């Protein structure tokens, strides 16, 4: 049975559960982050951390602040994050019609989700999303910087890179669509190894950026990248 709304699972833990306290905290982080440069283009994809706001909120705000000039243009957000609590084979869509946070409900893009369900590796799992934090913590930022948008959320487990690429290609869209990768790149890596370890996925992203910003997505090369969302980004 389809749930009408997925309730917030980590409000009051990863971020404030009170609507006004949450909005105040996000507004302060966005203000501290500043806005994009005048000539900065519309971002097509963001890689954003998903720890509690006390740890990663300012870093997330630095990414989301760049969306401010296009708050009316972006109408769909396709989001990928690693399934932490439930084993998933493939990319799991929820069965609900909306995700709720203290700032309100974000509707699922039913048409886009129906298209994705036809692709290899895409499954449905309400359990994978029920207590998952990595996607939920992104929503209050998106609700603060965008006007109105629909969501296509994937909890990613053991997924083939080719399957992830097919989903991204199918939902790539135009300037109305934003891709968000929710990933903490090195939460279990000792500080001495931090710079070199996080540099590898960062450099690969930079090398591939022309294809992602002008010609659409391409299947990523197989490689080993140790990060929280390695199933979604490797």
Task: Give the per-residue pLDDT at 116.
Answer: 96
Task: Give the per-residue pLDDT at 213.
Answer: 40
Q: What is the rounded distance in angstroms from the CA atom of residue 216 to the CA atom of residue 167?
A: 12
Task: Give the per-residue pLDDT at 214.
Answer: 37
What phi and psi values does residue 49 have, to the nearest 5 degrees?
A: -70, 160
User: Domain spans of the chain?
Assistant: 19-182
Three-state DSSP class for 230? helix
Specify the pTM.
0.81
The stretch 69-95 carries a mean pLDDT of 91
Q: Please state which of the ranges 47-51, 85-89, 119-123 shows the lowest mean pLDDT.
A: 85-89
Q: Do the bridges between strand 98-101 and strand 104-107 make them parallel or antiparallel, or are there none, so unpaired? A: antiparallel
Q: What is the rounded distance in angstroms from the CA atom of residue 54 to the CA atom of residue 77?
A: 24
pLDDT tens string 125-165: 888 898 898 999 999 999 999 999 999 999 988 888 999 99
| CATH pick for 19-182 out of 3.90.226.10, 3.50.50.60, 3.40.830.10, 2.60.40.10 | 3.40.830.10
Task: Give the per-residue pLDDT at 226.
Answer: 40
């Amino acid at each position: 049975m389809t749930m009408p709304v997925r309730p917030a699972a980590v409000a009051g833990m990863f971020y404030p559960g009170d609507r006004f306290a949450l909005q105040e905290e996000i507004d302060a982080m966005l203000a501290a982050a500043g806005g994009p440069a005048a000539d900065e283009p519309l971002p097509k994809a963001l890689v954003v951390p998903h720890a509690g706001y006390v740890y990663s909120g300012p870093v997330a705000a630095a990414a989301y602040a760049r969306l401010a000039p296009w708050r009316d243009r972006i109408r769909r957000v396709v989001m990928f994050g690693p399934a932490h609590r439930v084993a998933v084979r493939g990319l799991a869509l929820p069965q609900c019609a909306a995700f709720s946070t203290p700032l309100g409900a974000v509707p699922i893009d039913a048409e886009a989700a129906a298209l994705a369900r036809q692709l290899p590796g895409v499954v449905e799992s309400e359990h994978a999303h029920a207590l998952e934090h990595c996607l939920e913590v992104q929503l209050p930022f998106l609700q603060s910087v965008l006007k109105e948008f629909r969501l296509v959320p994937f909890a990613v487990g053991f997924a083939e890179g080719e399957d992830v690429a097919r989903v991204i290609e199918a939902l790539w869209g135009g300037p109305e669509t934003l891709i968000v990768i929710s990933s903490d790149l090195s939460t279990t890596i000792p500080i001495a190894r931090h710079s070199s370890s996080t540099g590898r996925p960062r450099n690969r992203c930079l090398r591939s950026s022309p294809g992602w910003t002008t010609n659409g997505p391409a299947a990523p090369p197989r490689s080993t990248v140790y990060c929280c969302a390695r199933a979604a980004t490797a």
